[in-house]
Structure 1
């Protein structure tokens, strides 16, 4: 059982004996009362999205997920293909099922397949991925005084803010949970 205050985007829980993925979580505190946790849940089996409000302190069961190592192969535009490393089975996910993870997928990236009752329901990315900067503004001497950064486009199309000293063609480490620049690779 997991407390609803600890729910995070992307977690899979059981609600009314059905597996749901948490799409969004908002916590609301009321004066002189218990807080509310408003969630948006998507049924993994049917695709139904529903808004559910819990009282803070409520507990929900976490889905019994297993993980399977896989490697990202390619995308044909509509689907993303992965190969399980234990038996070389190919598994395809639609762009909707992959969601924002598509911005971090590079060829041969190893991920974990999320398995529920022997069915693949999604992927879990590593916390950090290395991506190449394909487009960014040139830096000028003295730019570092103000701190901050400049926009950059990475090889997957992801747009992030990088420090002024990062140039086009360099490899950078990106946190897949927040989408932020960490350091040069």
Structure 2
């Protein structure tokens, strides 16, 4: 099915020249003058080769027809990462190279989208927002205002994110998995 290039997101599967590619990063660029473009970094599923493409944001791109289902993350072992279909209880094993950067976001019981082609997992999408706990942050520097500055923090999954000065260790926050940015303080 054809979609406009600007709608591509991390984890989507694109078909070009008869081959399948999984989107690793997608960013839209809108210059003051000229045509807006979408830059996409992709990994070829057949051999793992990374490819970069740039399209006009209104250009149509062939999104591959793959089986996309919700799965719950169970556990990780030497074989890979195990997911279970919450309806049929079928299990599927996803390898680390298919997970890529999404590995850091996995939490036990998390609902993810696993994409399969001919019964073989080829890509995975995590939720766009996840809740994590802050392990450590830098102390607040006197004179910093909440509106103008952020400080680095390390969260439970090892990622470094920038948070407002009033956020300290032990606080649960919501982060955006597309760019590891702080969204808000968790409401739980």
State the TM-score, normalizing by the size of structure 1. 0.78
Gap runs ≥5 in structure 2? none
* Residue matched to 1:62: 63
Distance, in Å, in 2 between the alignment partners of 1:71 and 1:2 is: 28
* Residue matched to 1:43: 44
More off after superposition, 123-132 vs 112-121? 112-121
Distance, in Å, in 1 between the alignment partners of 2:140 and 2:36 is: 47
The yes-or-no answer on 1:173 pairing with 2:188 is no
Q: Deviations over 1:35-73 (max 9, x none)?
A: 987755422233244456768875432101332121112
**CA RMSD for the aligned pairs?**
3.3
* Residue matched to 1:136: 137
Change beyond 3 A, Cα 1:180–1:56:
closer
How big is the shift at 1:100? Answer: 1.4
The yes-or-no answer on 1:10 pairing with 2:11 is yes
Query: Contact conserved, 2:10 with 2:178, CA < 8 A, in 1?
Result: no
More off after superposition, 118-127 vs 41-50? 41-50
Gap runs ≥5 in structure 1? none
* Residue matched to 1:157: 158
How many residues in Structure 1 have an aligned counterpart in Structure 2?
A: 184
Q: Deviations over 1:89-140 (max 9, x none)?
A: 3322222211111221111111111233333222211121000111112336
Query: Contact conserved, 2:146 with 2:164, CA < 8 A, in 1?
Result: no
Q: Deviations over 1:2-35 (max 9, x none)?
A: 3446544433111122211234568899xxx989
Distance, in Å, in 2 between the alignment partners of 1:57 and 1:140 is: 45
Q: Which has the larger radius of gyration?
A: 1
Query: Contact conserved, 2:13 with 2:123, CA < 8 A, in 1?
Result: no
* Residue matched to 2:124: 123
Alignment of 1:11-30 (within 5 A): 11-23=12-24
Distance, in Å, in 2 between the alignment partners of 1:59 and 1:175 is: 27
